[in-house]
């Protein structure tokens, strides 16, 4: 970290290599789109590189990057909303990086991940940020508060609201899937 602060590009590149997976995952969860996530990650590392000399070390590099990435995602999403574009396909498969041996379990896991990702994307941005930082990146309430510039109480309230929303959306999705999967039961009186 110190070498990167002194301008050592190789040291900064090592910081990027060690944090890239987590930063990309955060960006993807916040944007819900691989292309947008790539843009956000690139923007976040450019901003970090330009500001690395001002990094005080009050938090870890990854925590600092979470904050930058969250800000970049917020900016990117607000720009994207103004541009009003639509994705070509909303049912794109989610790739399992560690597939199980059983194809049916892989399929079920992919469907579940798809529902969870869609539910997370349905959250308002301020709730999505909190749930992603807490449940996917395992930050504490106080770390989330510091990252987002809110109080710890506000972080807890937002997380509670986000989880309530996710429960509702996922429950509706599960019920809808069960209705579609259930075979029609013939009406005995009609026969």
d(CA 144, CA 146) in angstroms, rounded, equals 5
Read off the pLDDT of residues 117-126 as tens digits, 9 standing for 90 and up. Answer: 888 888 898 8
Tokens of 130: 């909190």
Q: What backbone phi and psi angles, to 5 degrees, belong to 139? A: -80, 150
**Which fold is adopted by the domain 101-182?**
Arc Repressor Mutant, subunit A (1.10.10)
Read off the pLDDT of residues 60-73 as tens digits, 9 standing for 90 and up. Answer: 888 889 989 988 98
Parse the chain into domains and list their residue ranges: 1-82, 101-182
Its CATH architecture, for the domain 1-82, is Orthogonal Bundle (1.10)
pLDDT, position 185: 35
Instruction: Provide the terminal-to-terminal Cα distance of the chain, rounded to the nearest Å.
Output: 76
Domains 1-82 and 101-182 in one fold: no
Q: Which residues of the chain form beta strands (DSSP E)?
A: none
pTM score, whole prediction:
0.50
Spatial CB neighbours of 38, under 8 Å, sequence gap ≥ 6: 24, 27
Q: What is the mean pLDDT of the chain?
A: 79
Q: How many CB atoms lie within 10 A of CB 185?
A: 6
Q: How many CB atoms lie within 10 A of CB 12?
A: 19
| Residue in this structure with the two tokens 């709730």, named with its chain if needed | 127
SS3 140: coil
């Amino acid at each position: 970290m110190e070498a990167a602060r002194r301008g050592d590009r190789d040291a900064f590149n090592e910081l990027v290599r060690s944090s890239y997976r987590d930063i990309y995952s955060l960006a993807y969860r916040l944007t819900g789109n691989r292309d947008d996530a790539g843009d956000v990650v690139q923007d976040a590392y450019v901003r970090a590189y330009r500001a690395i000399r001002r990094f005080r070390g009050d938090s870890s590099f990854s925590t600092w990057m979470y904050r930058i990435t969250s800000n970049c995602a917020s900016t990117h999403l607000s720009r994207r909303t103004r541009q009003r574009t639509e994705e070509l396909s909303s049912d794109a498969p989610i790739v399992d990086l560690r597939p199980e041996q059983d194809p049916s379990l892989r399929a079920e896991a992919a469907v579940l991940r798809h529902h969870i990702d869609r539910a997370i994307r349905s959250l308002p941005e301020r709730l999505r940020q909190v749930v992603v930082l807490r449940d996917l990146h395992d930050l504490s309430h106080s770390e989330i508060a510091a990252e987002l510039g809110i109080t710890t109480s506000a972080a807890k309230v937002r997380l509670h609201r986000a989880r309530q929303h996710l429960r509702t959306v996922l429950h509706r999705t599960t019920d809808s899937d069960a209705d579609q999967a259930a075979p029609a039961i013939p009406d005995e009186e009609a026969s």
